[in-house]
């Protein structure tokens, strides 16, 4: 079986002491940063990106994957213990998780989050291994027109799933596309909108913009609210870490459902972890015999979204590894990291560097296992970390981000640019624009332009090529359908309801 | 998390016909960005035949953004929406200053001085800073960073001012 030989190859790579170490460090550091309230997954990955530069490509990607899961898990810890979601994916976890913590059941809540995540991670790893190869073959049938249409579909997905106004989300994507145009033109090499600033000749660094609009902007926004944020930290000692038999029986169907839902939503471009956790929570509430328990410490309300977001986080690697298209902002950062190491993600990587792809897939599973092993005993430390007041934490984060950006290119201008984008991000937040679609647009911009150009060149300037090739036409049709659905009032109301409900 | 629109300044500086100032200003700003991008890419070559020039895609996206910005602004005119949120100056100012100071001093003065200085400047961003603990934490953090980045991670960062190094 090809599948087993691939997985064996992967585990062979991932189980070397060096890579195990990197995976462990990544997961630990990721959790450490992810636990800090106000720093989401994207900011964490962006911040920690530079520490992987000195590593060989496989090691660097393994460590980044570790950081990613660590950050996700760290986010859930914060939600359960302090009612502050470290990131968007764990917003729903706060609803029941924090209630459980208040009832003195923080231990089981944390444990079930870890167990659910681990189970979801196992399933998703197998799914990636199974789907990876066939999807790569499919990817080879893709021409420029199909790629372009697929990216349009991905962006539309991101719009539909973003919260708030559809119009504003599209505007953010287009702004991102526009920002990605800065720098040299791929074909002619002409300098575009760079104003003869040498640092802009290569374009705006993705990590720079990400750190600005997510890192710095978040800090500034948090300062608005007063540094002493209202922190309902659960003070009592966390005892009884392990869930009871009843907890396990209650939560295992929820974990199963969350995993399935998350895996599916993760594969879809633009979907990803956020919507998966919302959807899983809503589903649990819908099918529960007694929905009123939700929001009052129902263990299913922790188990389902946590499993779903982890499954989605993992399966979102599928479009990245097979098609080279990042489905969300975190994956976009991964692309950035890969490019820095000279790897162009896409179907070729799967064939030319199988040890890299399968090594990473195997290390995802190992990373999940490590999270469960290291985090349960370390909960006490994370709690102590949460007691560090924000007035001391935010200057430290500023310095860390600044050093991080500087070390990417050793360019002071990058730091200034990130600062500027921090202010832009602050403005965007104040006007209710979401920065995540902007980031996605920025990453997909060059890819989209290239494929659009190529498609039109091949079709000799005929724009109908996107509609006459069957695969491309299907993708465009799905995108158009989604957009119509998103604008239709009935669905909009429902969609808003989901978000409102989970935020209140 | 976000300020409720109701608490925003009651007396709006916006003219009466703008019902959703937040959307209106946001849309207009996007239009300004789009116009700026159109101007900035005006010197680039456009379509020749059926192949794209360097300027085609930027102009295409600019026009798209211009339209979207206009649509958002119109939404702000015709439908009831949120007020402008209040901006605070202290956090943004000092955090930006700290970032700027880091960028300007990291090359000539090295990591130690630059990190410490930025730490203290950004600490000004909130009135709640207590200086003794801030300085202690700042010193520890600077030491930690000086060990972590150049030594543990092997990044080529200079630690001390250039003129002190023979």
Q: Give A246-277 pLDDT, tens digit per residue.
A: 878 888 888 899 898 888 888 766 556 667 77
Give the pLDDT of residue A390. 77
Predicted local distance difference test score (pLDDT) of residue B66: 95
B102 vs A331, residue with greater confidence: B102
As a whole number of angstroms, the distance between CA B45 and CA B62 comes to 15
ipTM of the complex: 0.87
Instruction: Report the chain B residue with the minimal C-alpha distance to residue A177.
Output: B61
pLDDT in tens, A294-319: 777 788 888 888 888 888 888 887 87
pLDDT at site A228:
47
* Interchain CB distance below 8 Å, B122 and A398: yes
Task: Give the closest of B25, B64, B98 to A398, CB-based.
Answer: B98
Q: Which of A34-43, A215-224, A411-420, B82-91 has the lowest mean pLDDT?
A: A34-43
Residue partners of A198: CB distance under 8 A and separation at least 6? none
Task: Tell whether the model's pLDDT for residue A56 goes beyond 60.
Answer: yes
Residue B69: what pLDDT? Answer: 93
Whole-number pLDDT of residue A417: 92
DSSP per-residue string spanning B65-128: HHHHHHHHHHHHHHS--PPPPPP-SHHHHHHHHHHHHHHHHHHHHHHHHHHHHHHHHHHTTSTT
CB contacts, 8 Å: A456 with chain B: 50-52
**Per-residue pLDDT reduced to its tens digit, A189-201:** 778 887 777 778 7
B41/A192 Cβ within 8 A:
yes
User: Is residue A129 over pLDDT 90?
Assistant: no
Q: List all residues 6 or more positions away from A229 whose beta carbon is below 8 Å from its beta carbon.
A: A37, A84, A222, A390
Judged by average pLDDT, the poorest of A110-119, A174-183, A413-422, B4-13 is B4-13
* Dist. CA A247–CA A79, nearest whole Å: 19
B76 chain-A contacts, CB cut-off 8 A: none
Q: Are A83 and A95 in contact (CB under 8 A)?
A: no
**Chain A partners of B65 at a C-beta cutoff of 8 Å?**
171, 174-175, 178
DSSP lists the bridge partners of residue A192 as A183
Model pLDDT, residue B12: 57
Least confidently predicted of A109-113, A477-481, B115-119: A109-113
Q: Least CA distance to B51: which residue of chain A?
A: A457
The tokens describing A259, both together, are 């995993």
Q: How many domains does the structure of chain A reveal? A: 1
Rounded to a whole number of angstroms, the distance from the CA of A245 to the nearest CA of chain B is 37
Token pair belonging to A244: 């009871």
Report the pLDDT value the prediction gives residue B28, as an integer from 0 to 100: 92
- The residue of chain A nearest to residue B115, with distances taken between CA atoms, is A399
- Report chain B (166 residues): mean pLDDT per 10 consecutive residues: 42 72 90 92 78 83 94 87 81 91 89 90 84 89 83 74 72
Give the closest of B50, B92, B107 to A426, CB-based.
B92
The model's pTM: 0.79
User: Percent of chain A having pLDDT more than 90?
Assistant: 4
Domain range for A183 is 2-503
* Per-residue model confidence (pLDDT) at position A131: 81
Is the per-residue pLDDT at A348 higher than 80? no
What pLDDT does residue A205 have? 79
Question: Cβ separation of B118 and A452 shorter than 8 Å?
Answer: no
- At A89 the pLDDT is 67
**pLDDT score of A239:** 58
Compute the average pLDDT of residues A433-450: 82
More confident residue, A487 or A71: A71
């Amino acid at each position: 079986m090809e599948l087993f030989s691939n997985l064996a190859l992967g585990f062979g790579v991932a189980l070397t002491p060096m890579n195990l170490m990197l995976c462990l460090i990544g997961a630990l550091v990721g959790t450490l940063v992810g636990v800090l309230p106000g720093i989401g997954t994207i900011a964490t990955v962006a911040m920690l990106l530079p520490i992987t530069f000195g590593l060989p490509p496989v090691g660097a990607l393994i460590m980044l994957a570790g950081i990613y899961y660590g950050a996700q898990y760290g986010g859930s810890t914060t939600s359960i213990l302090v009612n502050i979601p470290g990131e968007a994916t764990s917003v729903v976890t706060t609803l029941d998780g924090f209630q459980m913590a208040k009832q003195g059941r923080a231990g089981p809540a944390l444990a079930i989050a870890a167990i659910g995540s681990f189970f979801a991670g196992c399933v998703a790893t197998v799914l990636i291994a199974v789907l990876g190869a066939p999807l790569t073959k499919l990817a080879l049938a893709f021409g420029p027109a199909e790629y372009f249409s697929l990216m349009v579909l991905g962006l539309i997905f991101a719009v539909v799933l973003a919260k708030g106004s559809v119009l504003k989300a599209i505007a953010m994507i287009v702004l991102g596309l526009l920002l990605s145009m800065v720098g040299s033109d791929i074909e002619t090499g002409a300098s575009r909108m760079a104003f003869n600033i040498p640092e802009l000749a290569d374009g705006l660094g993705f990590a720079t913009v990400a750190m600005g609009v997510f890192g710095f902007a978040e800090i500034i926004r948090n300062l608005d609210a007063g540094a002493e944020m209202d922190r309902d930290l659960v003070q009592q000692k966390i005892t009884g870490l392990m869930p009871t038999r009843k907890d396990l029986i209650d939560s295992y169907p929820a974990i199963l459902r969350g995993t399935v839902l998350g895996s599916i939503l993760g594969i879809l471009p633009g979907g990803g972890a956020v919507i998966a956790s919302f959807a899983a929570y809503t589903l649990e509430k819908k099918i529960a015999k007694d929905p009123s328990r939700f929001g009052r410490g129902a263990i299913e309300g922790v188990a389902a979204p946590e499993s779903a977001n982890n499954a989605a986080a993992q399966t979102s690697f599928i479009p990245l590894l097979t098609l080279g298209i990042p489905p969300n902002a975190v994956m976009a950062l991964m692309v950035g990291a890969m490019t820095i190491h000279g790897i162009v993600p896409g179907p070729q990587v799967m064939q030319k560097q199988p040890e890299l792809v399968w090594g990473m897939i195997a290390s995802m599973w190992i990373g999940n296992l490590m999270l469960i092993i290291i985090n349960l005993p370390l909960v006490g430390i994370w709690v102590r970390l949460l007691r560090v007041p924000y007035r001391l934490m935010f200057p430290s984060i500023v310095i860390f981000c600044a050093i991080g950006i500087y070390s990417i290119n050793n360019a002071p201008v990058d730091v200034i640019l990130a600062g500027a984008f921090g202010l832009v991000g602050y403005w965007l937040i104040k006007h209710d624009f979401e920065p995540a679609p902007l980031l996605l647009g920025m990453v997909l911009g060059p890819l989209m332009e290239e494929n659009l150009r190529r498609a039109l060149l091949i079709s000799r300037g005929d724009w109908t090529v996107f509609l006459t090739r069957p695969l491309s036409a299907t993708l465009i049709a799905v995108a158009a359908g989604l957009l119509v659905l998103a604008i239709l009032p009935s669905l909009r109301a429902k969609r808003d309801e989901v978000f409102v409900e989970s935020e209140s | 998390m976000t300020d409720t629109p109701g608490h925003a300044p009651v007396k709006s500086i916006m003219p009466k016909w703008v019902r959703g100032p937040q959307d209106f200003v946001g849309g207009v700003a996007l239009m300004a960005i789009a116009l700026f991008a159109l101007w900035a890419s005006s010197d680039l070559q456009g379509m020749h035949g059926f192949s794209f020039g360097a300027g085609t895609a930027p102009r295409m996206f600019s026009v798209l953004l211009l339209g979207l910005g206009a649509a958002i602004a119109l939404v702000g005119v015709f439908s009831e929406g949120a007020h402008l949120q209040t901006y605070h100056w202290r956090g943004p100012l000092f955090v930006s200053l700290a970032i700027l100071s880091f960028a300007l001093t990291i090359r000539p003065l090295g990591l130690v001085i630059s990190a410490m200085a930025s730490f203290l400047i950004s600490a000004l961003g909130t009135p709640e800073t207590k200086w003794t603990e801030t300085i202690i934490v700042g010193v520890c953090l600077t030491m930690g960073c000086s060990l972590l980045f150049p030594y543990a991670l092997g990044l080529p960062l200079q630690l001390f001012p250039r003129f002190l190094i023979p």
